[in-house]
Structure 1
Amino acid sequence: MPKRAFSPLRRLLLGGLLASVASALLPWSNAIAEDAKTLRIGYQKFNSVNILKGSGALEKALAQQGVKVSWHEFAAGPQLLEALSTGAIDLGHAADAPSVFAQAAGKPVVYLAAEQPYPRGIGLVVREQDHIASVQDLKGKRVATGRGWNAQYLLAVALQQAGLSYQDITPAYVNNAADAVAALQSGSVQASTLWDPFLAAAEAQPGLKNLRDGSGLTNNRTFYLSTASFADQHREWLKTFFSELSKVSQWANAKPAEVASLLAPQLGINASVLEVASERRNYNAVAITPQIVAEQQKLADTFQGLGLIPHKLSVADAVYPTAVLP
């Protein structure tokens, strides 16, 4: 395999792996040390919050209120939500599945807003040499995925659509995208579930293909979350955050190539790969509607039916009741 084609994906995945290890060994000590006039924001690679960080606009806007901003990177949603629930950060974002799992675990997180649907940003990736042509071909195969990942939900509903059940495959649980891709490349699994930008990087790698994305199966939304206590006390900070997020999101939707150029140095991945991921995403934040609650409820019920969530939960109970969008 040409080294040049592999190195961007390797750098990106290694960065995610190192961030995951760091978050496990040093449990958000920097975030905990911030003073009371600092908005501590958790983010993941490649999203509207990551773009907002790169713009510097939020720092300027909050400085007028005497508020500083600190940014804390996480490898995936579950780690970010754990930090949010323990008070190590004040605000962050996560995909649909990690958000439901956090609520099921009793973590005191609330939904503030949602992103637009992003079904093409998740996928089931296979090796071409394994000659897997459809989801039906995954029967009896090992699939690398993570507990509570948005891409795990895609796997579950894709199997259902194909007339299979989750029990028809053998899940190989991993903690991050780096491990998922490594397992696929080694042949220890026959498919891996991934999300952008890791998915876009894998699609650009010779020998790998996206077997099925979320189109027609899941909206794969990103949610913005906080705790009710923080939102009650700092509503003006949140309104400023979402105001600046709206501006940068509109720019990002119109300029995917510029988004890629902005983030490429941070992520250590080729801008052309990031542009592909950005072109298929709508970054605009929207209010939590009954339709979005129903989407999340279906997701929660699906995971409960698989025995991955132990009890029935009401997604509506975790929706913050006061509007914070501009």
Structure 2
Amino acid sequence: MKKSIKNIIALGLSTLLLAGVFAGCQNSDTKKTTDAEKSNVVLRIGAQPYPLYSSIYVAKKLGYLDEELKKVGATYEWTDFKSGPLVNEAVAAGSEDIGFMADMPAILAKSSGQDIEIIGNVAYGEKALAVLVGADSNITNPSQLKGKKVAYVKGSYAQHLLALVLKNAGLTFDDIESVNLAAGDMPAALEGKQIDAAVLWEQFVSKLTTEGRAKVLVDGTGIKKGNMVTYSTKEFAEKNPQVIEAYIKAGQRASEYIKTNPKEAAEAIAGDFGVTPELMVKIFNNLTFTQELTKDDIQEIKTVEKYILDQKIISNEVNMDEFINTKFLEEAGITK
């Protein structure tokens, strides 16, 4: 009888122990689910539909953004803007968490007082930015821009290229007639001879030259590297470092995909930029896509800040060492 009682007690204890373990597993699973739900952050992305940012568009189209963000319990919202300044305005208004753009408008945003930081590269390309003249123009040397109407987007990285081109030709902005024009309006103005030259980026450079509507006077080769960067608000990045790292990983996966599968990548995103897949492949050849920020990249961006400070485009010096934050790249395994 005593043996039976002992057996019953032992069985009861075993059952309770197993029930406790099972309940513990259930509680653990429930806690994980709850934590994931709590961390279901929405990353609001301010985008620009230009091939300069192809890797991010590929990451979106091929699902890399969804996959990487899902791993950290996050999702994203995507808004297209026509220019970097408009992205800056949206971020400043609290409507977006991150934005990607060229080096100069990013620095201008920081100088204006926005609490942001550069978290990674997107691409660079010396040939992806150029001074164009009409197909039948007799301008063959930058020195001939003296007294001519030259269009560019004020505050864009095109303005910086033009400054460098003019300097190399012994000219300044005082020697030309500056025309502040939206990029999309420049092709018609150039063909209509309302302007003599236009400083444009991709897709305009490849599209206009391929169609025989313009020719390159000079591009950024040996003059300007032309970095495209992503910046984030510091508040969002500090609260959600894993989300920033997931974004970087998605972008890098897309960068590698473009490198190894250019035709397939072109077919996926050409429609976003209003070009054919064939032209998209040509554009890819003018750009290098990577999230990594090398020492050369950082120095290049610092040079841009010095230029806009010297030209009194900005009045407040930017602490570039604080502005460029590579810790997220390191945590994502992109930069060692």
TM bucket (normalised to shorter chain) is 0.7 to 0.9
CA distance in 2, matches of 1:88, 1:265: 26
Shift of 1:321: 6.1
Aligned length: 290
The answer to whether structure 1 residue 236 and structure 2 residue 242 are counterparts is: yes
CA offsets, 1:71-127, max 9 Å, x none?
A: 111112121122223221112211111112112222222111124531111011101
Query: Where do 4+ consecutive residues of structure 1 move more than 6 Å?
Result: none
Distance 1:282 1:146, change over 3 A: same
Shift of 1:256: 2.2
In the other structure, the counterpart of 2:287 is 281
Distance 1:130 1:99, change over 3 A: same
CA distance in 2, matches of 1:270, 1:66: 36
Code of the residue aligned with 2:46 in structure 1: it is G
CA offsets, 1:42-97, max 9 Å, x none?
A: 22222211111111122133234332221111112121122223221112211111
User: Any residues of structure 2 matched to 1:179-198 within 5 Å, and which?
Assistant: 179-198=185-204
Aligned partner of residue 289 in structure 2, secondary structure: coil
| Contact 2:293–2:326, Cα closer than 8 Å, also in 1 | no
The answer to whether structure 1 residue 323 and structure 2 residue 335 are counterparts is: no
Specify which of 35, 38, 50 is matched with residue 42 of structure 2: 38
Shift of 1:193: 0.8
Unaligned 5+ residue runs, structure 1?
A: 1-34
CA distance in 1, matches of 2:224, 2:259: 21
**CA RMSD of the aligned region, Å?**
1.9
In the other structure, the counterpart of 1:6 is none
Specify which of 61, 66, 83 is matched with residue 59 of structure 1: 66
- Which TM-score applies when normalising by structure 2? 0.81
Code of the residue aligned with 1:323 in structure 2: it is F
User: Any residues of structure 2 matched to 1:219-298 within 5 Å, and which?
Assistant: 219-287=225-293, 289=295, 291-298=296-303
| Contact 1:126–1:192, Cα closer than 8 Å, also in 2 | yes
| Contact 1:113–1:288, Cα closer than 8 Å, also in 2 | no
Deviates more, 1:124-133 or 1:260-269: 260-269
In the other structure, the counterpart of 1:75 is 82
Larger Rg, first or second structure (1 or 2):
2
The answer to whether structure 1 residue 89 and structure 2 residue 96 are counterparts is: yes
- Which TM-score applies when normalising by structure 1? 0.83
In the other structure, the counterpart of 2:304 is 299
CA offsets, 1:273-314, max 9 Å, x none?
A: 21111122111111364x433322221222233332234433
Distance 1:235 1:311, change over 3 A: closer
CA distance in 1, matches of 2:80, 2:115: 20
CA offsets, 1:165-188, max 9 Å, x none?
A: 1211111002x2112222212211
The answer to whether structure 1 residue 313 and structure 2 residue 318 are counterparts is: yes
The answer to whether structure 1 residue 213 and structure 2 residue 227 are counterparts is: no
CA offsets, 1:126-170, max 9 Å, x none?
A: 013221101111111011101111111111101111111121111
CA distance in 1, matches of 2:328, 2:42: 22
| Contact 1:112–1:288, Cα closer than 8 Å, also in 2 | no
Specify which of 75, 84, 106 is matched with residue 99 of structure 1: 106
Code of the residue aligned with 1:249 in structure 2: it is S
The answer to whether structure 1 residue 153 and structure 2 residue 153 are counterparts is: no
Shift of 1:36: 7.0
Percent of aligned pairs with the same residue? Answer: 24
In the other structure, the counterpart of 2:33 is none
CA offsets, 1:194-251, max 9 Å, x none?
A: 1111221122222310111101011101111101111000101111111122111101
Unaligned 5+ residue runs, structure 2?
A: 1-38
